[in-house]
Amino acid sequence: MDENNLNRIRDVGTISYRALLNAKALVKPGAKLLDIASAAEKFLLDSGYTCAFPLNLSVNSEAAHYSPAVADEKVFGDKDIVKVDFGAAKDGILGDCAVTVDLSGENGKLVEASEQALADAIATVKAGVKVSEIGKEIANAIESRGFKPIENLGGHGVGEHDLHSKIFIPNFDNGDDTELEEGEVIAIEPFATSGKKGLVTDSDVCEIYGFAGPVQVRNPDARKVLDEIMNKYSSEPFAVRWLSNVIPEKFKLYVAVKELWRSGALTPYPMLIGLGGGNVSQAEAELLVTRDGCEVLTK
């Protein structure tokens, strides 16, 4: 990787982490999720970047992919455990990092489980290491604290305009012999749960979509929304609320988005929820794999 490209990747990683900490500081009991998302996303835009994806604010048994809806009135409760997942984008370079905020002060061990799993995984990373070995370290850190790793979520490669590229890094030893390569950019993403099952499933809530390709639709509102998506959000995932400037009426906007999804123009990223109840914690960092270790990019 040439030095110019590496510096661009480092730059996006640094601002991603700053944006994450900025969002984390806003998570408090009584705070409105929509206000936090709007402020966090504006921070990146005002800094000269765009969002690699909408701010994720997933609560309690929600593992990932909840971003506030149009006119969302939800507020955080004083017992919530909140996953804050965010990243910047610039010229196709993407950042990705996450942290868990325990508003109750009662889930410290669960938060520690995902954070220690991330630290142990980072200590394992270097060129030539098998992804299953990383998964083993993650699972050991989580299980030794009495929790379960979420097995159908994991880390991933990060490519240009591709947040989840090629390589998958499991949160347990899945026997995958794929080896990390020097110069590869990856995200390590441990999830721990206090629930009975270390699995998540799609919910029927979806506020985040990606552009899949142009289609012909009859609904004029859907055509307006599709034009906006193709002009502004064709590369990275977007939130439905980002389109409310095109169709201000909430009901009509969601009808248009649903028609585009059904027509194949959009890829949905539904909210993921833990099976078997319980709370979920998450920790995530983006790394550059080196010959003898790694460089943490989101710091």
Q: Which residues are catalytic?
A: 85, 96, 156, 164, 189, 284
CB-count exposure of residue 172 (10 Å: 0-12, 13-18, 19+): buried
In the block, tokens 């993403």 appear at 189
Residue with tokens 């806003």: 26
Residue in this structure with the two tokens 């971003």, named with its chain if needed: 67
Task: State the distance between the two ends of the chain, measured CA to CA, in whole angstroms.
Answer: 20
Tokens representing residue 194 in the block: 């206090």
Give me the DSSP letters along 53-115: SPPEEEETTEEE---PPTT---B--TT-EEEEEE-EEETTEE--EEEEEESSS--HHHHHHHH
Beta bridge partners of 168: 156
Q: Which among 299, 17, 294, 298 is positioned nearest to 134, based on CA atoms?
A: 294
Kindly provide the b/e burial profile for residues 254-284, where b requires at least 16 CB atoms within 10 angstroms of the residue's own CB. Answer: bbbbebbbebebbebbbbbbbbeebbbbbbb
Contact 195, 278 (CB under 8 A): yes
- Strand locations in 172-226, DSSP E? 185-188, 191-193, 200-202, 208-211
